[in-house]
Amino acid sequence: MPPRRRHPAGARTDLPPLLIIRKILLLQIAWYVCATVLILFTTVVYGAPFSLDLVFGWDYLRGDTTVGWILGLVWMLNCFISVIFLLLFVSRSKLVPDFALTIHFLHLVATTFYTRSLPANLLWWALQCFSASMMTFMGMWACQWRELRPISFGGIGSGSSNTDGHAAGSSSHAPADGQQESSFGRGRGRERSINVGMGEYELDELKGDHAV
């Protein structure tokens, strides 16, 4: 039989395609839900009507209106919050750039289909580049921080330290070998003297009985 080919680390056997698709869908849905909630809250506070054009359109993202700058700040805030989604769903620093770029590419496709035209505002493109860069950088940093955290083994170290401390304490209170031998020697001597005294006392009583 021919030998089996070994796939390198990080191949599709490491992360199946169905799992990749599911994670992309979860990230994209979470990204849009978070953006919709933030934009809805902003429109309610600002007193402007809410519409899907603010989410999927590119006409409002312009640098010559107040609404455009506020909407740009909201999308930037959504970028920072989405780092948490990358940390939860991806969990690997080497995969963060792929997922971050995929999110923004799918957003470009959705915006193009929704408006039936490519985005023409420079602020929209600058915002997408900044969002993708920040999500990649911060997502990789967050995943690396979690990967490099020390692993706790459920108190084994503390138990061993307590055991060592108990052993050290018991050894410190335990007498030395010479002291043990001397104490045993003293005990044997006392037992010998007591036995000898008892034996002499019994002989004296027997002598007295014969004399009588």
- pTM above the 0.85 mark? no
The answer as to whether 210 is a domain residue is yes
Residue 172 lies in a domain: no
Give the residue ranges of the chain where pLDDT is below 50.
1-2, 7-13, 157-163, 165-178, 180-203, 206-207, 210-212
Q: Number of structural domains, the chain? A: 2
Q: Are 137 and 189 found together in one domain?
A: no
pLDDT of residue 6: 53
33 and 136 in a single domain? The answer is yes
Would you state the pLDDT for residue 151? 66
Is 76 inside any structural domain?
yes
Q: What is the token pair recorded at 23? A: 């994670």
pLDDT for the residue numbered 148: 78
CA–centroid distance for 134 within its chain: 21
pLDDT for res 9: 47
27 shares its domain with 82: yes
Which residue range is the domain that position 112 belongs to? Answer: 17-147
Q: Encode 77-121 in three state secondary structure.
A: HHHHHHHHHHHHHCCCHHHHHHHHHHHHHHHHHHHHHHHCCCCCC
Whether residue 160 is contained in a domain is answered as no
